[in-house]
Copies of this chain bind each other. A is one copy, B any other.
Amino acid sequence: MKIGILGYGNLGRGVEFTVKENPDAELVAVFTRRNPADVKINTPNVPVVRANDAENWIDKIDVMILCGGSATDLPKQTPEFAKMFNVVDSFDTHAKIPEHFANVDAAAKKSNHVAIISVGWDPGLFSLARAYSSAILPDGKDYTFWGKGVSQGHSDAIRRIKGVKNAKQYTIPIDAALEAVRSGKNPELTTRQKHLRECFVVLEENADAAKVEREIKTMPNYFADYDTIVNFISEEELQKNHSGLAHGGFVIRSGNTGENKKHNHIFEFSLKLDSNPEFTTSVLLAYARAAHRLQREGKSGCMTVLDVPPAYLSAKDGAELRAHLL
């Protein structure tokens, strides 16, 4: 399948690596809103093209992987590009998924393309874990934990505080909460009991450390409901020790069955990722394969991971999967 990339940041670079790991995929072009001459990619002999010229590539690309952000890029780009291509995106603003789905569905149906949105690990694989487990264990309770990993939103919130030069914030699941869930007791857990927030903060010269720490710890929505640890470090230390893109998390459903609901079952899915963007693009590429197949079968419109048969993600055919993997 011939792959196009729209947007060349962390995700776009991740798709580039992922294509090399999948022999059935070939990178055809990278599309950018920047000046193409300013975008240096890692794959030789693949052109970088203006995003506005995408319509000239309609017959040359099977699936366009959209690597923009959920805040402003994807709400516009996904419906627009679904008019021309099969597309996959990693739209992750949970509350706006229904609206995004409707917009993309209208565009993709009209042009007979398949669009798969909200692909990644949450939403994405974590959604699958929640869907399978809740369908199988209707009498139960779901728990999702994130981390250990950097939260971009919380890091940004700290950087907006006066006196802060730079900051990284780690979301850390609390072991005692995970163990309580795994025990099958279906505990009611407060926000504070589930996750810890640890911040690494670089101060501006002459900033008031105590004041910054107080402002972080009392910030509504972001930190006030959590136990928060604040560490002040140098810019060098931040660059050296806190530039990683590791992330992960856990989805656990604890459910009961049988006479007097006496039997408990723990369904647990977890990810531990060295590189959040590279894993996300690995998921995107598998769903690009599915989008391409579904369109060849005559399907069109918007889908999510919940609508795609698992076998469609694989380069292997049904008989091979049944014989060796089932």
Interface residues of A (CB under 8 A from B): 14, 17-18, 21-22, 94, 97-98, 101, 118, 123, 125, 127-128, 130-132, 134-139, 182, 184, 248, 255, 257-259, 262-275, 278-279, 282-283, 286, 289, 304-311, 313-315, 318-319, 321-323, 325-326
What residues on B are CB-neighbors of A118 within 8 Å?
326
Residue pair B305, A310 in contact (C-beta under 8 Å): yes
Given A278-B258, A311-B131, A314-B135, A98-B323 contact (CB < 8 Å): yes
Which residue of B184, B268, B273, B309 contacts A306 across the interface (Cβ within 8 Å)? B309
Tell me whether A21 and B139 are in contact in the complex, defined as CB-CB below 8 angstroms, given that A132-B310, A311-B307, A321-B131 are known contacts: yes
Contact B326 A136 (CB under 8 A): no
CA distance A139 to B17 in the complex (A): 12
Count identical subunits in the complex. Answer: 2
Would A271 and B275 count as touching, CB distance under 8 A?
no
Complex: A304 Cα to B310 Cα, angstroms: 10
Known: A136-B282, A309-B307. A268 touches B266 (CB 8 A): no
Q: For the complex formed, measure the closest distance between the CB of A273 and the CB atoms of chain B, giving whole angstroms.
A: 5
Q: In the complex, which of the residues B101, B306, B314 contacts A311, with contact meaning CB atoms closer than 8 Å?
A: B306
With A21-B139, A257-B18, A265-B272 in contact, is A322–B125 under 8 Å at CB? Answer: no
A274–B263 touching, CB < 8 Å = yes
Determine the residue in chain B with the shortest Cβ distance to A303. Answer: B309
Given contacts A97-B323, A265-B279, A269-B269, 11 further A-B contacts (CB under 8 A): A17-B257, A21-B257, A248-B266, A263-B273, A263-B278, A263-B279, A265-B273, A267-B271, A268-B268, A268-B269, A307-B311
Specify the chain B residue showing the minimal Cβ separation from A257.
B278
Please determine whether A313 and B130 come into contact, CB atoms closer than 8 angstroms: no
**Shortest Cβ distance from A43 into chain B, in angstroms?**
12
